[in-house]
């Protein structure tokens, strides 16, 4: 069964209503995301710098990936 976007939004919103502080870490890559999820974090944020670096690009590089790879 697939979870709808509305269900995901409701679950995320509910995290803000829980007891205590809602902490949402920013993993750097897939490995750190898996570690953080394994530690019990229910949500993970994204970082534009981390996403760009994982693709071998600078954060401000707006060129499509295929063009970036050809251009070096």
Report which DSSP code applies to 13: H
**Rg of the chain in Å (alpha carbons):** 16
CA-based end-to-end distance of the chain? 42
CA 37, chain centre distance (Å): 11
pLDDT of 36-53, one tens digit each?
A: 999 999 999 987 777 777
Q: How far apart are CA 36 and CA 23, in angstroms?
A: 11
Provide the number of structural domains found in the chain.
1
> Does residue 9 lie within any of the structural domains?
no
Confidence (pLDDT) at 29: 81
**Domain, as residue range, for 49:** 21-71
> Does residue 5 lie within any of the structural domains?
no
> Does residue 12 lie within any of the structural domains?
no
Mean pLDDT by 10 residues, the chain (72 residues): 89 89 87 94 85 77 56 48
Q: How far apart are CA 72 and CA 44, in angstroms?
A: 31
Confidence (pLDDT) at 34: 94
């Amino acid at each position: 069964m697939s979870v709808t976007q509305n269900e995901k939004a409701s679950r995320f919103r509910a995290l803000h209503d829980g007891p205590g502080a809602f902490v949402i870490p920013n993993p750097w890559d897939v490995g750190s995301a898996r570690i953080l999820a394994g530690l019990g974090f229910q949500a993970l944020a994204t970082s534009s710098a981390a996403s760009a670096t994982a693709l071998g690009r600078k954060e401000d590089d707006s060129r499509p990936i295929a063009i970036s790879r050809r251009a070096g």
